[in-house]
Structure 1
């Protein structure tokens, strides 16, 4: 036997509305948190891509290894954060995040590839950092605003 009292239809609708409101709040919070993580990761990866142009493996191998290690740690941390938050994201935000993440990873790989072209001037190094950071930062800003 069930000890709970039966709810009439109006009470059931009110309870459903309350649950929907709580889900909307959690979804909004998840989107803002994931957006913040995206912005931080984008800035970090953009900075690391710029630093790669300065700490080239042929000139400073230890610095290169540290930068690559930091990149790996950042990607693992973001993957763990995404694993915790993806269920609370609004519809479509997972795909939006994955598009921004993949775009930044491809641009980071391009930054690695162009290291062989030789040392670059500071404006070019800063431009590389901004270009690599842009997809994740734009994605994060879009998530925070919605």
Structure 2
């Protein structure tokens, strides 16, 4: 079913597409997955707290999955070390992570017009020459949006 969908969607794409679609029919190691995004009101319950994609998967488009996971693990570990009560540690973890996660997850548009604009923009930037130019010109500012607490005193 997924192969047929791709055949239909890209039938008139041109260039090397007919060859790729032909090879796709016979591919034995074909994998196709939907893109999803996790949005949660709460990252912990009882004595369990979630980190990484289980808690705040932004999307493959953002390139922020690993960064969010590492920052979240750092903050959660630090707050667990700083607080005797896990409930307080979880509350502080949530307070520190919420704005950072919210900003990272805002990549997806929610209106019909926004989705059309995003699709057009992605089609444009997917061109190799545009990608090379973007790589040279753009630096992600998301790294600068969270001030990490210093947990050194806990570890000493």
Shorter-chain TM range is: 0.3 to 0.5
Q: TM-score, normalised by structure 2?
A: 0.35
Greater relative CO (CA pairs within 8 A, separation 6+): 1
> Which has the larger share of helix?
1
Q: TM-score, normalised by structure 1?
A: 0.37
